[in-house]
Structure 1
Amino acid sequence: MTVLVTGATGRVGRHVLQELNERGVPARAAVHRPAPDTTARAVSFSFTDPRTWREAMRGATSMFVMRPPQISRVKEDMLPALSAAREYGVKRMVLLSLQGADRNPAVPHHTLENWLRASGLEWTFVRAGFFMQNLSTTHAAEIRDLGRIVVPAGGGRTSFVDARDVAAVAVRALTDDTLVREAVTPTGVTALTYTEVAELISTELGAPVSYISSGPLAFWRHRRAQGTPHAETAVMLALYSACRFNLAAGVTHDVRTVLGRDPISFSRFAHDERAAWLPRPHQPFRNQV
Structure 2
Amino acid sequence: MTLLVTGATGTVGSEVLRQLDAAGVPARAAVRDVERARPELPAGVSAVRLDLEDPPSWPAALEGVTRLFLLRPPAIARTARLQGFLDAVVAAGAAHVVVLSVQAAGRNPVLPHRQLERRVEATGLTWTHLRPGYFLSNLLTVHRDEIRERSEISVPAGGGRTAVIDVPDLAAVAVQALTGPGHENRAYELTGPEAPTWAELTATLSAVLGRPVVYRRPGAGRFLREQRRRGTPAGLAVLMTGLYTVTRLGLAGRTTDDLQRLLGRPPASVADFARRHAAAWQ
Superposed pair shares fold, TM > 0.5: yes
Give 1:96-107 correspondences, 5 Å limit. 96-107=100-111
- How do residues 1-289 of structure 1 correspond to structure 2 at under 5 angstroms? 1-34=1-34, 35-36=38-39, 37=41, 38-76=43-81, 78-278=82-282
After TM superposition, give the deviation of residue 258 of structure 1 in Å.
Answer: 0.9
Equivalent pairs: percent with the same residue? 44
Amino acid aligned to 2:48 = V
Segments of structure 1 that go 5 or more residues without pairing to the other structure are 279-289
Per the TM alignment, residue 156 of structure 1 is displaced from its structure 2 partner at its CA by 0.3
Q: Give the SS at the match of 1:178.
A: coil
State the Cα deviation string for residues 54-83 of structure 1 (Å, max 9, x = none). 11111111000111122211211x221122
SS in 2 for 1:19: helix
Cα distance in 1, alignment partners of residues 156 and 30 from structure 2: 35
Q: Is the 8 A contact 2:30 2:48 kept in 1?
A: yes
The alpha-carbon deviation at position 130 of structure 1 amounts to 0.5
SS at structure 2 position matched to 1:64: strand
What TM-score results when the alignment is normalised by the length of structure 2?
0.95
- CA distance in 1 between counterparts of 2:92 and 2:196 reads 44
Moved runs in structure 1, 4+ residues, more than 3 A?
none
TM-score (norm: length of structure 1)? 0.93
Amino acid of the structure 1 residue aligned with 2:80: K
Letter of the 1:9 counterpart: T
Displacement of 1:106 in angstroms is 2.7
Q: Do the aligned partners of 1:18 and 1:39 also contact (CA within 8 Å) in 2?
A: no
In structure 2, the residue corresponding to 1:12 is in which secondary structure?
helix
Paired residue secondary structure (2:117): helix
In 2, Cα distance between equivalents of 1:168 and 1:271: 20
Q: CA deviation at 1:100?
A: 1.7
Contact 1:3 1:26 in 2 (8 A): yes
Q: Could you tell me how far apart the structure 1 residues matched to 2:101 and 2:256 are?
A: 15
Q: Structure 2 regions of 5+ residues with no counterpart?
A: none
Q: Secondary structure at the match of 1:149?
A: strand
- Equivalences, count: 277
Q: 1:202 to 1:39 in 2, by over 3 A?
A: farther
The answer on whether the counterparts of 2:192 and 2:260 sit within 8 Å (CA) in structure 1 is: no
- Partner residue in 2 for 1:281: none
User: CA offsets, 1:23-60, max 9 Å, x none?
Assistant: 22110011111224413001111111112111111111
Larger helix percent: 2
Tell whether the 8 Å contact from 2:132 to 2:189 is kept in structure 1 after alignment: yes
